[in-house]
Amino acid sequence: MHSYASDSNDRRIAPWVIFILATLLAYAYSAFVSWRNIEVAWWLETPSIMSVYALVYWVYNRYGWKWRLGAFRFSEIPDLSGTWFGELNSNHGEGTKVFTMVHIHQTWTNLCVEFESKTSRSFSVMAAVNVTPGPTEGLTFQYTNAPRHGATETMNAHVGLNHLRLSPDGKSVEGEYFSGRGRQTAGSMKLVRIGSERMTFEQAEAKFKTTAP
């Protein structure tokens, strides 16, 4: 996975909140040990603020940012992780329509987008997830693409850019893409989330066809 940018407020606020929480936890541990007159083994040091900070940060980065407490969200960044499947429309030739699968690995700070069809595979190399309403809202990523063995000769390795916006209910994404030198195509796609687990293309296609309206 690689890091990704975001304009969410929690990217600025969360590190300070984690630091305050780590300070309180380290102090509470020290106070409890003193109050109970617990003799800590010589090889077991009292945890420092920075070691507690590292632990709390790890938990938040992996899990905590996804948590909700009623209507309160622990992060403004949407959880895009999981397997998505749908249809891609390309202007290649006289127009092409193909099924495509996307699997997204995501933590609070890192992300990887795997894009797969029957003829090629792509991986993101940089990305941004913006939450402020406007033209940049959503997931934007640059990718590198490599044709599969047996793909047509017109398929070339290339780089491209993709921009996807999450639906209000969080069940689908829709957007556009364009590819650079070596391919020079553009198009649109709409994908639905079909599960949180990783799937093969064949598994995702079968599940999509059974759940599609």
**pLDDT per 10-residue tile (average), the chain, 213 residues:** 96 95 91 79 74 95 94 94 94 81 96 91 95 95 80 68 94 91 81 93 91 69
- Position 148 scores a pLDDT of 65
- Position 181 scores a pLDDT of 66
Please name the residue that has the structure tokens 């000769």.
153
Q: Which residues pair with 14 in a beta bridge?
A: none
- Position 154 scores a pLDDT of 57
- Position 57 scores a pLDDT of 97
- Asked if the structure places residue 1 within a domain, the reply is no
For 106, the domain range is: 82-211
Domain edge (last residue) among 73, 97, 120: 73
Residue 43 neighbours by CB distance under 10 Å: 5
Domain edge (last residue) among 53, 73, 93: 73
Distance between CA atoms of 132 and 139, rounded to whole angstroms? 12
Distance between CA atoms of 6 and 9, rounded to whole angstroms? 9
CB 191 within 8 A of CB 201: no
Contacts of 43 (CB under 8 A, 6+ apart): none
Same domain, 30 and 109: no
- Asked if the structure places residue 186 within a domain, the reply is yes
- Asked if the structure places residue 2 within a domain, the reply is no
Same domain, 46 and 88: no
Domain edge (last residue) among 20, 48, 73: 73
- Position 134 scores a pLDDT of 93
Same domain, 65 and 114: no
Same domain, 147 and 51: no
Q: What is the CATH number of the domain that holds 193?
A: 2.40.128
- Position 41 scores a pLDDT of 67
Distance between CA atoms of 113 and 116, rounded to whole angstroms? 10
- Position 52 scores a pLDDT of 93
Prediction pTM value: 0.86
Number of domains in the chain: 2
